[in-house]
Structure 1
Amino acid sequence: MLKFILKRLGSSLLVLCGASILLFFLVVNSGDPLQDLRESSSPNRETLIAARTQFMGLDQPWYSRYWDWLTGVAGCATGNCDFGLNRSGQQIGDLLSNAAASTLRLVVLATVLAIIIGIAVGIITAIRQYSGLDYVVTFLIFLFFSLPVFWAAVLLKEYLGIRFNDWIGMPELNWTGLIVLALLAGLALQAVMAGDVKRRVFTFLATVAVVLVGGWLLFALDFWRNPQMGPIVQALIGLAAAVGATTVIAGLRNRSVLKATLVTVAIGIVAYYATYGILRSTPSALLIAGLGVILVLVAILVGRLLGGFSKSAAVSASLVTALIMGVSIVAEHVMNYWPAFLRAKPRPISTIGSGTPNMEGHFWVLFLDRGAQLLLPTILLTIISVATYSRYTRSSMLEVSRQDYIRTARAKGLSERQVILKHAFRNSLIPITTIMAFDFAGLIGGAVITEQVFGWKGMGELFATGLNQVDPMPVMAFFLVTGTAAVLMNLVADVLYAVLDPRIRV
């Protein structure tokens, strides 16, 4: 394996080197970097042109300029990276660190959400092949996949940004909209749950009633401007997570796994009370990350100790339960500071920029501000990627489900849950893993348009500025991040092939 990884890294370096030469050549010949000065009426125009020519090395051949850039980047091997200067004299390294942090924060979140939602939708549509749900979801997926990014971004800014900001100032209950939402939720849930006519009607009516009563109750409690949760809600969320994770992963009849998840819920409630004061008074990103690591380790320990003969399933179910409870606890602290955030920023959903200038306040207020900045571009990138993941998951699941070993698994008397999750889904993950590798790097490149529409100061803005100014240094910095991401993610995909399917050898 080590020899294979080293060979892949070596060949990848050659690919990156060849691509960097081609890109550098194309950028330096894409326009005139002195055009703005040539059109200037300044009396010292010739002096400015001479200074920029010398500064950017425009009097040298392109390969000489490329060699200077390459030697600076090669210094990263010894810890002395030099990405050069942009046309304005700013260090590219400083610009790159800020832009990469901004874009990766957006792309990683969108990728994770797209994988979770897309795979879930793909599995459900594969199970319900040629049903009404399958046809509706297929139509919506192709619709999302074909949406022009800039047009979808404008719609999101209008309806989820501007109009929501107008509404949140004085929330009013719109019974027409709530009834339509309840009917759509009922139709969707009965299609997912399936069953005979009686079960579908019951699911539809129950869902409509829950949405209508829940919606009215949220308005009565002024939830939209002053949301609250509390320990009872936390316990209910934990119990729902425990039962759901156990049902999906091992089945409710597996008492060992159910016991492990319920113990995880009990530990989560204790952690809720133990960390409440700390997370409210002196929170920090490092503290939250540390508590998250402890939560994961405790869940693994509980699963190993109480899992019995189903240790792996107990660990997985306990992890899912612990992560859901952890997110729920963080969400409660975020909700507690939502009124303070509205006072600091009456129009909370941002449509421009990756951060509110001069925003000050408590940690959770700043956390909400960054989340509001992420919301719209993340939704856009997720919608586009969900289409790819769901279609590949569906086709892969359908192909695997026709194999002989799936029929054998059913003939042995295994439950449909075991057949789908342990046999069909795991074997269908190999092509999906390939898509994940390409999609992550593709999202970084595709974020160029998204960042332009939302005014996001990230890698896309760095690339566009460099290209518009015919300045190769910012463009090459963008290439380094996206190219390296593509290489590493494909290497990870190759390694995961052997993990997912022991028959694969390198």
Structure 2
Amino acid sequence: MLKYILKRFARLFLVLFGASVLSYALIVHSGDPLEDLRESTDADAEFQMETRAEQLNLMLPWTDQYYLPWYERYWDWLTGVLGCLDPTGAILSRCSFGETVNGGDVTAQIANAAEISLRLVLIATLLAIIIGVLTGIVSAMRQYSFFDFAMSFLMFLFWSLPIFWAAVIAKEYLAIEFNDWMADPHFSQSTILIVAAILTVTVPMIFGGSARRRVAIGATMFVYTATVMPLLDHMHFMEQPRLGTGFIIVGSVVLALGLTALLAGLQNRQVLISGLITAALGVASYFLTWDLIRGAQSYLLPVALFALAIAVSVLVGRVFGGYAKGQATAVTTLSGILISLMIMLDHYMYTWPQLLSAKPRPVRTIGATSPNLGTDDFWVVSLDQLSQLWLPTLVMMLVSLATYTRYTRSSMLEVVQQDFIRTARAKGVNERTVVLKHAFRNAMIPLATIVAFDFAGLIGGAIVVERVFGWNSMGTMFVTGLENVDPAPVMAVILFTGGIAVLFNFIADILYAVLDPRIRV
């Protein structure tokens, strides 16, 4: 296994090196970086050309000499990048990705831009994987049902969406129109009826079952929606939203019961007890840590408490799981994660009125943050960042969602026809174990490849989305660098995105060996 990993790791650097050489050669030959200054009538145009030529390692054009060969300029750039592998600077030069034509430090710029872009791409990828895989499994298990046909139609629709068009539509209807509605947020009777009708049709389609069951679920959803939406309107929920203590308690118990039923079955008492203990601890932590979390000044405290919640959940599963420790640990860990996220959601909902006071139109269409917010409160600032993040995330998630859904469905359909699946069913193994333990694990092998390529593709798509939403991140660096024939910022973006792509392919190769040991040979 170690030899397998080392071979893949060595190929990683070879791919990056080849990609960087080719990219650098194409960039430096894409235009003349001094073209704008040649046509300038400024008195100091000659001095500006000298300065820029020095920054880009060019020979001066009036010396009757050619530019420095591109490979010498590439070597100068490469030695600076390789210096990042030697933080002491004893062997190589200091870590540097070069300078822009304006003298800006590309190292600092790519660090800031990458943080913004990664925040967008990681969240979009995680949501697309979770929703897409779950939808693909259900579609495969209900092949040729109305749900399967509806999901296939929607996924092909999302897959064919031009990402720039989807971003513009999202800005118009989910930002501008939403901000207008928030000036007087009330649900009209027509809106209530439309939402109730949509849920009446879609929810029974998801749950399936006999016609009588679907009719009962649809009627229940219609009555529930037609009752709850006016109640929320009366409570001014959109201006002052809260989950509340009752929802946290009921939601925690429902999560524990639902995950136990899904992963182990409610008849497994030890797993059920472990899940309920986790739910009880989650509810207790909601009350005990409220004041502590409200006083947070950065993400450090919430992240530390989240990690502690996961550790405690794992411990509960190992201690109380008995002979079913594996299933118990899975149930308690997922319960702990989801309950923690539910508690964090309640904290952000509690902060929503403060954000509206500082920012009456909560979703800006330009920028990753709101300037002049008027407060440095951690919760208000972080909620503002989330309000700016959710639209680009939604656009990128919808485009990527189709890939995971379709590949999961096709892979699951192929696996469930294998002999070992028929054998498991013939032995009397329940359908939940057949689907989740036997079929899904084998269906994950092609998905590992898709994740690697899709993540790299999302980073490329993020350049377009960031330009539409006016984010000053890697998209801006890349486009500006190309326009100015400035290789340093463009190469920084290419190296970063290329590094992420080959790294995820490397992780995919390792996952292959974990999922199917035969691949190691």
Q: Mind listing any 5+ residue stretches in structure 1 that lack a counterpart?
A: none
Which residue of the partner structure matches residue 268 of structure 2?
A: 254
Which residue of the partner structure matches residue 5 of structure 2?
A: 5
Q: 2:138 aligns with which of 105, 110, 124?
A: 124
- Residue 84 of structure 1 aligns to a residue whose secondary structure is coil
- Residue 337 of structure 1 aligns to a residue whose secondary structure is helix
Q: Show the 5 A alignment for 1:49-198.
A: 49-59=49-59, 60-79=68-87, 80-198=94-212
The C-alpha deviation readout for 1:338-372, integer Å capped at 9, x for no partner, is 10100101110121111112333311101110001
Which residue of the partner structure matches residue 393 of structure 1?
A: 408
- Distance (whole Å) between structure 1 residues aligned to residue 165 and residue 447 of structure 2: 28
- Distance (whole Å) between structure 2 residues aligned to residue 196 and residue 333 of structure 1: 40
Query: Partner amino acid for 1:130?
Result: Y
The C-alpha deviation readout for 1:85-142, integer Å capped at 9, x for no partner, is 1111011110011000000000000000000000011011111111111111111111
- Distance (whole Å) between structure 2 residues aligned to residue 451 and residue 41 of structure 1: 35
C-alpha displacement at 1:49, in angstroms?
2.1
- Residue 519 of structure 2 aligns to a residue whose secondary structure is coil
Query: Partner amino acid for 2:76?
Result: D
C-alpha displacement at 1:25, in angstroms?
0.6
- Distance (whole Å) between structure 1 residues aligned to residue 439 and residue 32 of structure 2: 56
1:231 aligned onto 2:268: no
- Distance (whole Å) between structure 1 residues aligned to residue 190 and residue 448 of structure 2: 43
Query: Partner amino acid for 2:17?
Result: C
C-alpha displacement at 1:280, in angstroms?
1.3
1:315 aligned onto 2:323: no
Which residue of the partner structure matches residue 290 of structure 1?
A: 304
The C-alpha deviation readout for 1:466-499, integer Å capped at 9, x for no partner, is 1111100001101111111111111111111222
- Residue 260 of structure 1 aligns to a residue whose secondary structure is helix
- Distance (whole Å) between structure 2 residues aligned to residue 290 and residue 144 of structure 1: 36
The C-alpha deviation readout for 1:247-295, integer Å capped at 9, x for no partner, is 1111111111111010001111111111111111234311111101110
1:47 aligned onto 2:81: no
1:504 aligned onto 2:512: no
Query: Partner amino acid for 2:104?
Result: Q
- Residue 187 of structure 1 aligns to a residue whose secondary structure is helix
- Distance (whole Å) between structure 2 residues aligned to residue 296 and residue 145 of structure 1: 35
1:274 aligned onto 2:282: no
Which residue of the partner structure matches residue 414 of structure 1?
A: 429
- Distance (whole Å) between structure 2 residues aligned to residue 483 and residue 106 of structure 1: 17
- Residue 289 of structure 2 aligns to a residue whose secondary structure is helix
Q: 1:424 aligns with which of 411, 421, 439?
A: 439
The C-alpha deviation readout for 1:44-90, integer Å capped at 9, x for no partner, is 22332232222212221111110000111111111131111111101
Q: Using a 3 Å threshold, how does the CA distance of structure 1 residues 396 and 91 change in structure 2: closer, same or farther?
A: same
Which residue of the partner structure matches residue 336 of structure 1?
A: 350
- Residue 96 of structure 1 aligns to a residue whose secondary structure is helix
Q: Kindly report structure 1 stretches of 4+ aligned residues shifted beyond 3 Å.
A: none
Query: Partner amino acid for 2:361?
Result: R
Which residue of the partner structure matches residue 370 of structure 1?
A: 385
Which residue of the partner structure matches residue 376 of structure 2?
A: 361
Which residue of the partner structure matches residue 20 of structure 1?
A: 20
- Distance (whole Å) between structure 2 residues aligned to residue 346 and residue 361 of structure 1: 17
Q: Using a 3 Å threshold, how does the CA distance of structure 1 residues 147 and 287 change in structure 2: closer, same or farther?
A: same
Query: Partner amino acid for 2:379?
Result: W
- Distance (whole Å) between structure 2 residues aligned to residue 260 and residue 271 of structure 1: 16
- Distance (whole Å) between structure 1 residues aligned to residue 442 and residue 265 of structure 2: 21
- Distance (whole Å) between structure 2 residues aligned to residue 70 and residue 154 of structure 1: 38
> What is the identity percentage for the equivalent residue pairs of Structure 1 and Structure 2?
49
Q: Any conservation in 1 of the 2:368–2:385 contact (CA below 8 Å)?
A: yes
1:487 aligned onto 2:519: no
Q: Any conservation in 1 of the 2:52–2:102 contact (CA below 8 Å)?
A: no
- Residue 173 of structure 1 aligns to a residue whose secondary structure is coil
Which residue of the partner structure matches residue 264 of structure 1?
A: 278
C-alpha RMSD of matched pairs (Å): 1.2
Q: Using a 3 Å threshold, how does the CA distance of structure 1 residues 269 and 197 change in structure 2: closer, same or farther?
A: same
Q: Any conservation in 1 of the 2:171–2:391 contact (CA below 8 Å)?
A: yes
Q: Using a 3 Å threshold, how does the CA distance of structure 1 residues 23 and 224 change in structure 2: closer, same or farther?
A: same
Which residue of the partner structure matches residue 462 of structure 2?
A: 447
TM-score, length-scaled by structure 1: 0.98
Q: Any conservation in 1 of the 2:55–2:99 contact (CA below 8 Å)?
A: no
- Distance (whole Å) between structure 2 residues aligned to residue 224 and residue 331 of structure 1: 14
Query: Partner amino acid for 1:61?
Result: P
Q: Structure 1 residues 325-334 or 29-38, which shifts more?
A: 29-38
Which residue of the partner structure matches residue 91 of structure 2?
A: none
Which residue of the partner structure matches residue 405 of structure 1?
A: 420
- Distance (whole Å) between structure 2 residues aligned to residue 72 and residue 459 of structure 1: 20
Q: Structure 1 residues 352-361 or 414-423, which shifts more?
A: 352-361
- Distance (whole Å) between structure 2 residues aligned to residue 492 and residue 55 of structure 1: 38
